[in-house]
Amino acid sequence: MRYSHDVPETTRRTKSHLRVPKPQPEQRLLVRMMQCGNALFARVYHQVIVRAPARLPRTGPAILVCNHTSGLDPMLVQSALRRLVVWMMAKEYYDIQPLHMIFKAVEAIPVDRSGREMAATRAALRALADGRILGIFPEGKIEPTRDLLPFQSGVALMAIKSKVPVYPVYLDGSQRGKEMAEAYLFRNQVVLAFGPEVRFERGSTSHDALDLATRSIEEAVRALKDRYSIGKPQ
């Protein structure tokens, strides 16, 4: 008979350091039900046209960057994806009842836009470490016109530090310029277009390197805008 103290120290140490993979949220029944409900709401009630399908990896972490048109955007983008997106979103939207319960269930990350939010950044990096898809609106606020605001460099910094791929998506539609309640309650016509992985240098987090990476990400979204925005011939 062998006792625990008979097991070699190296074996016990190896077993204690084995990391059990964290279950992905798509595996939870509640999340699957919410995804179905969201697909019906966004694809049936609102008319969502996907002009270029998503190219996200089936497993593993990635960052999804999108322009920001309304408070409805996360639900519209999610409706075209099988994998659940962990969105970084403004705290004022995260706290709206009863939507707060939904955002909490899908592990959205609230961001206080009044200043630097290190807690949100750490939560985002943890989500990537757990193999999630992280959704970011790098403009930092809603833009009611079809112009793109300059992208903030935080997404490039997280991509370089985490070494995960970055994928662009462009969103257009009649939800632009509407308040939250109006965007949710009144039907909209929406266009979505996803792009391939954005390639950029990841060897440094210097100011110049971050600026170059941020421009590459912004240009990828702008290329989708120029090709797929509403009114463009297909």
**Secondary structure of residue 225 in the 3-state scheme:** helix
pTM of the full predicted structure?
Answer: 0.84
**How confident is the model at residue 84, as a pLDDT?**
92
**How confident is the model at residue 224, as a pLDDT?**
97
How confident is residue 20, by pLDDT bands cut at 50, 70 and 90? low
Structure tokens at 109: 């990350």
**How confident is the model at residue 11, as a pLDDT?**
41
CATH superfamily of 23-228: Glycerol-3-phosphate (1)-acyltransferase (3.40.1130.10)
**How confident is the model at residue 21, as a pLDDT?**
56
Q: Which residue has the tokens 């200043």?
A: 115
d(CA 150, CA 6): 62
Q: Are strands 62-66 and 133-136 parallel, antiparallel or unpaired?
A: parallel
Give me the chain's average pLDDT, please.
Answer: 85
Q: What is the pLDDT of residues 41-99, one digit of tens each?
A: 888 899 999 999 999 999 999 999 999 999 899 999 999 998 999 999 888 878 877 77
Percent of the chain with pLDDT over 90: 56
26-51: average pLDDT:
84
Higher pLDDT among residues 149 and 181, named by residue:
149
In 27-164, which ranges are E strands? 47-52, 62-66, 85-90, 109-111, 133-136
**Secondary structure of residue 167 in the 3-state scheme:** strand
What are the domain boundaries of the chain?
23-228
Q: What is the pLDDT of residues 134-151, one digit of tens each?
A: 999 999 899 989 899 999
